[in-house]
Structure 1
Amino acid sequence: MAQPLVEGFPGKSSSHGAFGWSTVWLLDDGVRRALIDVGPPSYIPLIHLGLERLGLTADDITDVLLTHMHWDHVANFTMFPNAVTWVGERELAWAAEQPAGTPFIPDLHVRELLQRDRVERIMPGREVLPGIHALDAGGHTPHHLAFFSDRIDTPAVFAGDSVKNIYELTTLRVDSTLDERQSIATIDRLRSLLTDTSGVLLPGHDVALALSDGEVRRMRPQRAGIGYFADGVIGEQDRSIG
């Protein structure tokens, strides 16, 4: 069973950069409970609430699978004391080579991954856990991974930011990538995998997506809300996307 603990949202501010609202996916086969990406620091209470709704705690997570080394996907791996953290060997090495202050690379988290026990470094093509395979999904970052599971009711591709949202899967046009050509090739391969397996795609900043007869659709409405303070009044703006 795959489900979101926190659902992401595709968007950025014209004045304050990316929202960093990434999706945290839980894959539970009754034996292992794996999180695919773990969100930014602001997600800590949301992750606790999401686990609590399922009768779980952070102690129950057995594995954390990281698609790539951006802050909004890796920041909370330390909050799961019993989990093994799985990270791409080449992705981690690449991130470690970047100077402090490189956009989106959390250098303190990179350092912690290099030094910490219970961190496994993986390569594309490996079966990371039973029924969960690591796929080469480069472009957004050079050595980005996706994960494919065929041991759940509906096969699923956990795409991370190799496919951030419905727009990218539909159009093959990508935002925020280090290699546009590589990103387009990755999305094309993942579309073929969805077609071949009748699977769903679980993106980095959107709800689950289905591809049928060449048409992409959200499997549930997309919604986010922003609270704001003005003249001593607390307000809220909602944004829903079908």
Structure 2
Amino acid sequence: MAEQLENYRVYAVKYAHHDRPASNNFIGGDPHDESMPLDYFVWAVVGESRTFIVDTGFDAKTAAGRGRSILNPIDAGLGKIGIRASEVEDVIITHMHYDHAGNHDLFPRARYHVQDREMAFCTGRCMCHTMLRNTFEADDVKAMVDRVFTGRVQFHDGVSHLAPGLALHWVGGHTGGLQVVRVHTARGWVVLASDASHLYANMNQGRPFPIVYNVGDMLEGYETLHRLADSPSHVIPGHDPDVLRRFPAHDRETEGWIARLDAEPR
């Protein structure tokens, strides 16, 4: 008998915003160089019996140090969709960059899911190079090591099926161990790309984001994203403000803040 797949609810929860020119978002720049800002998200995957938080954002200290502003605290956004951070039991870290792996104390009960290759990447010889380490926060990496020693990290190698209808897939590229999340929903298979593709334009035009460890893996990752998803509209980039315009809000109060990715696009 085939395994019954759950239809998860999937939310994009915006917590910060950063204005920047388009030239900063593509290797080789952009000839138009218009404004092309980034939004910062965490994601929630909610099933009947389990809830998974995907990435944990950055905190106020990191925001101040990197010239960023937090618009909505992550725990407040999760609260709007009925999730208490203190009760979350599963956190998926797509990769260990500062804007995806901070807020060390926000999920005290959670087990963290990380790729083997990502921990090796952010604790190994690649961090001897300023260009590769400057998007990591040492405190975030130390906090993850502490969790390893308290039994709160589950490592994954390549493809892992966490639950019926939810799987992790290594793609690399942006970092050595970046993973994407494939989720079954009422509208089909959705893929949370995280920084495998920051913007729709990166993957749709084959133009990689300039913060990258392996360009070849990033380009192959675009193919993987579309192979895993049911259609291009089922691939959700990691930082594109257009996500909040394409998908309906959770409710009127959260318009422009929280979107339902399991719902049909507008």
TM-score when normalising by structure 1: 0.76
Q: Which residue of 2 aligns with 1:164?
A: 198
Give 2:53's aligned amino acid.
L
Q: Which residue of 2 aligns with 1:24?
A: 42
Asked whether 1:36 is paired with 2:70, we answer no
Asked whether 1:70 is paired with 2:113, we answer no
Gaps of 5+ in 1: 210-216, 225-241
SS at match of 1:178: coil
How many equivalent pairs are there?
Answer: 216
Report if aligned partners of 1:3, 1:26 keep a CA contact under 8 Å in 2: yes
SS at match of 2:175: coil
SS at match of 1:155: strand
Which digits, 9 at most, give the CA deviation of each residue in 1:133-183, with x for residues without a partner?
A: 111211111221111112554321111100111111220111122222221
Q: Which residue of 2 aligns with 1:59?
A: 86
Report if aligned partners of 2:115, 2:157 keep a CA contact under 8 Å in 1: yes
- Paired with 2:229 and 2:157, the residues of 1 have a C-alpha distance of 22
Structure 1 residues 20, 112: CA separation in 2 closer, same or farther (over 3 Å shift)? Answer: farther
Residue of structure 2 aligned with 1:174, choices 193, 208, 223: 208
Give 1:137's aligned amino acid.
V
Q: Which residue of 1 aligns with 2:184?
A: 150
TM alignment of 1:10-159, pairs within 5 A: 12=20, 21-42=39-60, 43=70, 46-97=73-124, 98-99=127-128, 102-116=133-147, 117=150, 118-150=152-184, 152-159=186-193
- Paired with 2:38 and 2:129, the residues of 1 have a C-alpha distance of 19
- Paired with 2:189 and 2:221, the residues of 1 have a C-alpha distance of 18
> How far off is 1:202 after superposition?
2.1
Report if aligned partners of 1:89, 1:121 keep a CA contact under 8 Å in 2: yes
Q: Which residue of 1 aligns with 2:225?
A: 190
- Paired with 1:7 and 1:166, the residues of 2 have a C-alpha distance of 19
SS at match of 2:76: helix
Gaps of 5+ in 2: 1-8, 26-36, 61-69, 250-254, 258-265
Give 1:107's aligned amino acid.
A
Structure 1 residues 38, 20: CA separation in 2 closer, same or farther (over 3 Å shift)? Answer: farther
- Paired with 1:80 and 1:50, the residues of 2 have a C-alpha distance of 14
TM-score when normalising by structure 2: 0.70
- Paired with 1:72 and 1:147, the residues of 2 have a C-alpha distance of 17
- Paired with 1:79 and 1:119, the residues of 2 have a C-alpha distance of 15
> How far off is 1:7 after superposition?
6.1
CA RMSD in angstroms comes to 3.3
**Higher relative contact order (CA closer than 8 Å, sequence separation 6+):** 2
Structure 1 residues 129, 166: CA separation in 2 closer, same or farther (over 3 Å shift)? Answer: same
Which digits, 9 at most, give the CA deviation of each residue in 1:28-82, with x for residues without a partner?
A: 1021111111111145952122122223321232211011110000012431112
Asked whether 1:5 is paired with 2:40, we answer no
SS at match of 1:12: coil
SS at match of 1:149: strand
TM alignment of 1:197-212, pairs within 5 A: 200-206=234-240
- Paired with 1:78 and 1:99, the residues of 2 have a C-alpha distance of 27
What is the aligned-residue identity percentage? 22
